[in-house]
């Protein structure tokens, strides 16, 4: 694997702080992520959409295993680097490099239609500034993928996998776990990147739940956001703006939820039950 610094030096580039660029630079980690994305049984079959190709280090490992890879990169300077470094894969038709913002890509179109023999995978080393936005998009497209593999800050990974009752369990945990089974696979030290970040990272895998534990309806979103907006508030007060006191009380009784509890104690299924109870009430 070519070292990230040598690739940048050859191109006359330096990492851009404004883009939050920290390039993977450790072969063992790259191989681990590539195998998490495309198992040995899926070699030559899986279709991968990579968010943020960077210098193409992970892209290369993915292209060696997948049927096809679409790599999104918003840094125009790196598009030229990718075209040069990955020329062989592009010529073979295995790889397509797309200049653009991963936050606005049509994920469904990029991954292509469902094929039973060709699993679809979403992956990426997510910049801190847009991690929340990209996770939200992954949740939106959960029905279109077989798995999602992201590199995120360790703190975010812990929140994603947090259980009810813990101090780090919050809206991000609920929204993600409503659509996915979340697994934290591997911690990644700062030394595995160039330049090294100030924090430890982690590889997380999302496996879609079919059916989802909860449909992300406006009511569900309002309940979750209100419950965690002010964590110390009891649900009776936190949900006062979602519906009338009478409607909230009736829905809570039907759902077996105490309004004297706090949002951090509710499971995804309880939020879902409360949303269904509110949405099914007679106007």
Stretch 172-199: mean pLDDT, rounded?
97
Q: What percent of the chain has pLDDT over 70?
A: 99
* Phi, psi angles (nearest 5°) of residue 113: -70, 160
**Separation of alpha carbons 283 and 270, rounded Å:** 22
pLDDT digits (tens, 9 = 90+) for 112-138: 999 989 999 999 999 989 999 999 999
Q: Are 148 and 121 in contact (CB under 8 A)?
A: yes
Tell me the pLDDT band of 282, cut-offs 50, 70 and 90. low
**Separation of alpha carbons 52 and 31, rounded Å:** 17
Helix (H, G, I), strand (E, B) or coil at 135: helix
Helix (H, G, I), strand (E, B) or coil at 16: coil
How many other C-beta atoms can be found within 10 angstroms of the C-beta atom of residue 100? 12
Q: Which residue in 272, 153, 275 sits closest to 204, CA to CA?
A: 153
Give the residue, 230 or 52, on which the prediction is more confident. Answer: 52
Q: Are 229 and 241 in contact (CB under 8 A)?
A: no
pLDDT score at 208: 98
Residue 153, strand partner residues: 201
Query: Does 144 have pLDDT greater than 90?
Result: yes
pLDDT score at 244: 95
Report the Cα–Cα distance between both ends of the chain, in Å, rounded: 62
pLDDT score at 228: 96
Write out the two tokens for 253.
Answer: 């009784």
**Separation of alpha carbons 262 and 245, rounded Å:** 16
pTM of the prediction?
0.95
Q: Are 151 and 202 in contact (CB under 8 A)?
A: yes
**Separation of alpha carbons 34 and 11, rounded Å:** 25
**Separation of alpha carbons 18 and 254, rounded Å:** 49
Supply the DSSP symbol for 112.
-
């Amino acid at each position: 694997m070519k070292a990230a610094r040598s690739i940048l030096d050859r191109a006359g580039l330096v990492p851009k702080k404004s883009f939050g660029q920290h390039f993977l630079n450790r072969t063992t980690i790259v191989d681990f992520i590539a195998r998490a994305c495309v198992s040995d049984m899926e070699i030559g079959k899986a279709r991968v959409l990579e968010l943020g190709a960077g210098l193409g280090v992970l892209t290369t490992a993915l292209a060696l295993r997948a049927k096809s890879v679409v790599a999104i990169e918003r840094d125009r300077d790196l598009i030229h680097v990718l075209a040069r470094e990955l020329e062989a894969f592009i010529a073979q038709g295995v790889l397509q490099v797309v200049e653009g913002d991963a936050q606005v890509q049509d994920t469904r179109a990029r991954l292509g239609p469902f094929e039973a023999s060709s699993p679809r995978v979403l992956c990426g080393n997510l910049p801190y500034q847009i991690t929340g936005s990209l996770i939200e998009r992954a949740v939106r497209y959960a029905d279109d993928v077989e798995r999602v593999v992201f590199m995120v800050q360790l703190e975010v990974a812990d929140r994603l996998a947090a259980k009810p009752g813990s101090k780090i369990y919050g809206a991000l945990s609920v929204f993600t776990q409503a659509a996915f089974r979340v697994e934290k696979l591997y911690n990644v030290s700062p030394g595995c990147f160039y330049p090294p970040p100030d924090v430890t990272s982690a590889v997380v895998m999302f496996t879609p739940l079919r059916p989802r534990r909860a449909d992300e309806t406006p009511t569900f979103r309002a309940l979750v956001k209100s419950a965690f907006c002010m964590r110390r508030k009891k649900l009776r007060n936190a949900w006062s703006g979602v519906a009338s006191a009478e409607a909230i009380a009736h829905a809570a009784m039907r759902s077996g939820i105490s309004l004297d509890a706090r949002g951090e104690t509710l499971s995804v299924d309880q939020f879902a039950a409360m949303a269904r109870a509110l949405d099914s009430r007679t106007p």
